[in-house]
A = this chain, B = another copy of it.
Amino acid sequence: MDGGITNLTTEERTNCQRLTPLTTANLLDSVDAFLFDCDGVIWKGDALIDGVSDTLDTLRALGKKLVFVTNNSTKSRRQYAKKFHSVGISVSEDEIFSSSFAAAMYLKVIDFPKEKKVYVIGEEGIGEELQLAGFTSLGGPEDGKKTVQLRPNYLFEHDKSVGAVVVGLDQYINYYKLQYATLCIRENPGCLFIATNRDAVGHLTDLQEWPGAGCMVAAVCGSTQKEPIVVGKPSTFLMEFLLKKFNIPTSRMCMVGDRLDTDILFGQNAGCRTLLVLSGVTDISDLQDSKNHIRPEYFADKVSDIIRFIQ
Contacts and interface: CB of A to CB of B under 8 A. Distances in A.
Interface of A: 45-47, 148, 150-156, 170-175, 178-179, 182-183, 186, 198, 200-201, 204-208, 210-212, 214-225
Nearest to A154: B205
Contacts of A172: 175
Contacts of A148: 171, 210
A217 B219 CA distance: 7
A211 B179 contact: yes
Contacts of A45: 152
Contacts of A174: 173-174
A222 B205 contact: no
Contacts of A198: 222
30 contacts: A45-B152, A148-B171, A150-B205, A152-B206, A154-B207, A155-B207, A155-B208, A156-B208, A170-B175, A171-B175, A173-B174, A173-B178, A173-B219, A174-B174, A178-B211, A178-B215, A179-B210, A182-B215, A186-B201, A201-B223, A211-B219, A214-B222, A214-B223, A215-B219, A215-B220, A215-B222, A217-B222, A218-B222, A219-B219, A219-B222
